[in-house]
Amino acid sequence: MSHEMHHFDLGLWVLFLAYGTSIAGSFVGLSCARRAATTPLGPTRWRWLVMAALSIGGVGIWMTHFIAMMGFAVPGTIIRYDPMLTILSAVIAIGATLFGLWLVDLRALAGRPILDRSALLIGGAVMGVAVSLMHYCGMAAIRIRGELSHDPVLTAASVAIGIGASIAALWLVRTAFIRATRLLGALVMGCAVAALHYTGMAGVHASLDSTATMPEGATLLDLMLPAYIFGTIILAAPLVALVLARQSADTEVDEAIATWSAEINDAVPYPGDRGQEATAELDTRRDVPRRPADPLRKGDVQVVPHERVR
């Protein structure tokens, strides 16, 4: 018999905090992925891809799941978490995201900047299944005085949502060219991640056993501080990198404009410069002494002015 469960035990603010976290991670990740797409092939490009995977997978997906679990409670039992499975779920989320981004980048290097339908579906399916595996790996880390089971229909629905969210993420990586588009994409991805989590949680059933031993493991508060430190670091590092890259790009543009202007000035002098050159040439001509006029030669015609007849 299923026992009563609460998904918003601390209030609805947990939902909004989880959704806001997913938006922040998705937006920063999409910005890093866009920066990777405009960076030449090499270590710098891979650094942008890794930061995008950490932002989307680590913060936008895993931290959202972790924060949402703050509201999960089962009256009549304490809840503990297996730290190793919790860490494994984070690794799965980041690894799946990195794989999807690598697939998009690989297709871009092949001269196809926007994925065709088959590659998009395959990459989205693999990434979506892995993200769903992250969710249920995190659920497997829960320890209660009893057992947790999952409804097959809602489980399949959550996996389908995960695949859809992954396809949308991979598509947005190559099409979110401007900031407004990335923000809209982050809003959509945040909704999809939250929908995946709460659809999966709606299919959870708890069966308590009064004869079972008390669960062992870490409390949510024990994991909260390391999780928030982890989330802050992996979100702050890409933000700093994005700001520095923007400043570097602005400096390069200013230098290019200055160089271009100097080249134009050298090739085409200003009208004021032409006037100064003409004035200098005229002054030079005035300073040259004039040769006296030659006397009349034979055959020359001289015009004599008429004199007044007296």
Using alpha carbons, select from 199, 78, 206, 215 the residue that is nearest to residue 148.
Answer: 206
Task: Return d(Cα 63, Cα 65) in angstroms, integer.
Answer: 5
Cβ atoms < 10 Å from Cβ of 39: 16
User: Pick the residue with more confidence: 175 or 232?
Assistant: 232
For the segment 198-226, the average pLDDT, to the nearest whole number, is 86
pTM of the model: 0.73
pLDDT single digits (tens) 233-276? 888 888 888 888 765 544 544 455 555 555 565 655 545 555 55
The dihedral formed by the CA atoms of 167, 17, 67 and 9, expressed in degrees to the nearest 10? -120
**What pLDDT is stored for residue 250 in this prediction?**
45
Percent of the chain predicted with pLDDT > 90: 8
pLDDT single digits (tens) 180-197? 878 888 888 888 888 888
pLDDT at residue 107 tops 70:
no
**What pLDDT is stored for residue 81 in this prediction?**
92
- Sequence spans of domains, the chain: 13-234
What end-to-end distance do the CA atoms of the chain give, in Å?
149
Coil, strand or helix: which one is 176? coil
pLDDT at residue 139 tops 80:
yes
Helix axes 179-202, 152-175, angle to 10 degrees: 170
